[in-house]
Chains A and B, each alone.
Chain A
Amino acid sequence: MDGNAPDFAAASRAALADPQLRGNFRRAMDGLMTKRAAQFADQDEWHGVRALAASVRLRALSKLPELLEKLEENCTRNGITVHWAATTDDANAIALDILHKANAKLVVKGKSMVTEEMHLNAVLEKDGIEVLESDLGEYIVQLDGTMPSHIIMPAIHLNTKQIAHLFKRKIKDAESREDAAYLTDLARRVLRAKFQAADVGMSGVNAAVAETGTLCLIENEGNGRMCTTVPPVHIAFMGLEKVVEKLEDVPPVISLLPRSATGQPITTYVNMISGPRKEGEKDGPREVHLVILDNGRSTIYADPELRDTLRCIRCGACMNHCPVYTQVGGHAYEAPYPGPIGKILVPQIEGLAKRGAMPHACTMCNACVEICPVKIPIVEIMGRLRVEAVKPGGTVKDGGAKANRTESMVWSGWAAMNASPTAYRIATVAMSRLGNVAPSSLPMLKEWTNVRTKPRFAGRTLHDLARAKGIPDV
């Protein structure tokens, strides 16, 4: 493994050794799955809205270049300044440039996974700009000096008790009270003062409407509305796939998102941002910027099979239903996007040299595929990435980076054995008769037998039994 590649296996071992963490995730994911299921109790309705949302996303992707041009045109007409960023470095430079021009010292942020992808907070802090996350979960992980463990519920790895301890340590005059209402109120008081003092507000975008130049942002805490209306400058960040064609495409997306994510029928706030404060208006920022990030997405887009990755509306339901994520939590992935969508998106963005192990952190159970509100064939894409990891010449960055001569020889040998009836017969007869004497210390057996007994070869194969019983061969 190369030096800077995250080690999922090691990180997941650490997570599994933490009973508090495991309990927090198990309980939270069980609850979220139950809540989602209640939202879609009517299976016919589910299949209908899902087909609609998937078709909205497919149609948008089918004309993505055209829609992005239209989005820029209509945003510009609305007074929103559009910036294009090919890389995260470009996006960070654009953000810094706007901040410098605004002479900004304090930034408040609403939730934005694209800015996590950019590591924007670190860039701003290095530049001497104070940046404050205002989504409660994001605020908690920022105070804790960690990163979000879930794309929708960033602090889902912590319970009330742990958050109470954190606030006591980090917030002046905080009382030691394990009471969610008290803790929320405390955070609210800290944040309220910052909203009023901030020079720039930042946010993500849930959907950008090409035909009207509108940015849609859904949230539950009102912090998104504060970030996008109170400070004099608002910068919104989006991945280039977030565009939809028409205003009427928005409702299916913003309804399925919270229903899938948290089991809520709708979010508390739905913001439709159509530009800066106009003449005579009493509120709103005087400048609105939209930063549209590529960061490998156009390469994903160019491959017809991998393109489906870009349908994602970032609801996080795939995480909630992933049995691997449920065991190890989000931090083990050491990536901005954990869980199933992370396992297909991050290797494509960051390359298979660094992230080639990620598509293997999956049992291919298809639980995510079953509930994905826009029908992303996550497991098929995972399979494709497993191929590209060992085979150069594909479209994914660093294809072939995990090519391994030994592994490749093992599979050739396996294929030779299974493709020849004679070889298969000899091998299976030998394994059946002799396999049970294999010592448990053999490499793969050792891992297997940590918590399981050794698989027992039956002595006679089904081929043997069928022949003995006279089962016809043709």
Chain B
Amino acid sequence: MDHQPPKPTRVYYFGTCLVDLFFPDAGMAGIELLQSQGLTVVFPQGQSCCGQPAYNSGYRADALKVARAQLDLFPGDDPIVVPSGSCAGMMKKHWPDLFRGEPDEAKAVQVAARVWELTQFLVHVLDVRLTDKGEPLRVTWHASCHAQREMGVVDEPKALLRQLANVELVELKREKECCGFGGTFAVRHPEISAAMVGDKVADIEGTGAARVVSGDCGCLLNITGALEAGNKATRGQHIAQFLKERIHGR
């Protein structure tokens, strides 16, 4: 990122449907991290989903209907922060394509341009400084494909983890490789998905980390599900919740 945008006083928060259903505490932690930096966080109650599941399944009209239902929830110019690289990527990168030629295309493009992935926002806009109050802990970082390759978020989350004095970050050997979730891929091709998450779990185990931290709940459902099913000691956690716990000392 070649420039530091002005620090806003108010942001919107788009929680995502997976966070809503499976990781609401991580969602709340993201809101609290933003609040701790003095921001007013607005959570429009009318929000649901970015439309990605239908978009990637070939049902673009259904995706459009869902995406369109979000458009009016974020009036003005305030940034929209999303605790997921994948959903942020859908909004930022794919909404302009999805709305191309539609009457509300301009609005969609305007909204898309304001979307930030959470860690990207914490690092590049807020320039946060974290004080670690937790016990010494070894962690590893799982990079989601869409955070890396659609949002360009590679170093930001690791930079945040490295700010934590008592946290030792051990990187994965194949950090850039997909965990095998892939939305409907995991159920369309369960065996391949299982093989992929198997390699991922082995890589995580190899780091000796007590915690695998990630910024995407799709990956987390997949990886933590596989860790638990394999009775592994490592736990998975969303980065928002992990950071919040560390700065509060629990």
- Interface, chain A (partner B; CB < 8 A): 9, 12-13, 16, 22, 26, 30, 323-324, 327-328, 360-367, 369-370, 383, 386-391, 408, 411-412, 414-415, 417-421, 424, 428, 431-432, 435, 444, 447-458, 460-467, 469, 471-474
**Binary contact readout B1-44 vs A (1 if CB under 8 angstroms, 0 otherwise):** 00000000000010101011111110110010000000011111
Interface contact A364-B28, CB-CB below 8 Å: no
CB neighbours (8 Å) of A465 from chain B are 24-25, 27-28
Closest CB of chain A to B220's CB: distance in Å? 10
CB of B123 closer than 8 Å to a CB of A: no
Interface contact B66-A16, CB-CB below 8 Å: no
Question: How many A-B contacts if CB must be within 8 Å?
Answer: 207
CB of B170 closer than 8 Å to a CB of A: no
With both beta carbons as reference points, the residue of chain A lying nearest to B69 in the complex is identified as A419
CB of B102 closer than 8 Å to a CB of A: no
Checking B27, B45, B58, B194 against A386 with a beta-carbon cut-off of 8 angstroms, the contacting residue is B58
CB neighbours (8 Å) of A463 from chain B are 15, 20, 43, 45
Interface contact A453-B187, CB-CB below 8 Å: no
CB of B49 closer than 8 Å to a CB of A: yes
Give 22 CB contacts A-B under 8 Å. Answer: A9-B188, A16-B195, A323-B177, A327-B199, A363-B182, A363-B196, A365-B178, A367-B176, A369-B149, A414-B54, A415-B59, A419-B48, A444-B187, A447-B187, A451-B198, A452-B197, A453-B224, A455-B221, A462-B15, A463-B45, A466-B27, A473-B45
**Binary contact readout B219-236 vs A (1 if CB under 8 angstroms, 0 otherwise):** 001101110111000000
- Interface, chain B (partner A; CB < 8 A): 13, 15, 17, 19-25, 27-28, 31, 40-49, 51, 53-63, 65-66, 68-69, 145-146, 149-150, 174, 176-178, 180-199, 221-222, 224-226, 228-230
Interface contact B192-A16, CB-CB below 8 Å: yes
Checking A9, A458, A472, A473 against B23 with a beta-carbon cut-off of 8 angstroms, the contacting residue is A458
CB neighbours (8 Å) of A452 from chain B are 197, 221-222, 225-226, 228-229
CB neighbours (8 Å) of B56 from chain A are 364, 383, 386
Majority secondary structure, A binding face: helix
Interface contact A458-B21, CB-CB below 8 Å: yes
Tell me, in angstroms, the Cα distance from A408 to B54 when the chains sit together: 10
Tell me, in angstroms, the Cα distance from A81 to B49 when the chains sit together: 59
Interface contact A457-B22, CB-CB below 8 Å: yes
Known: A16-B191, A462-B27. A362 touches B42 (CB 8 A): no
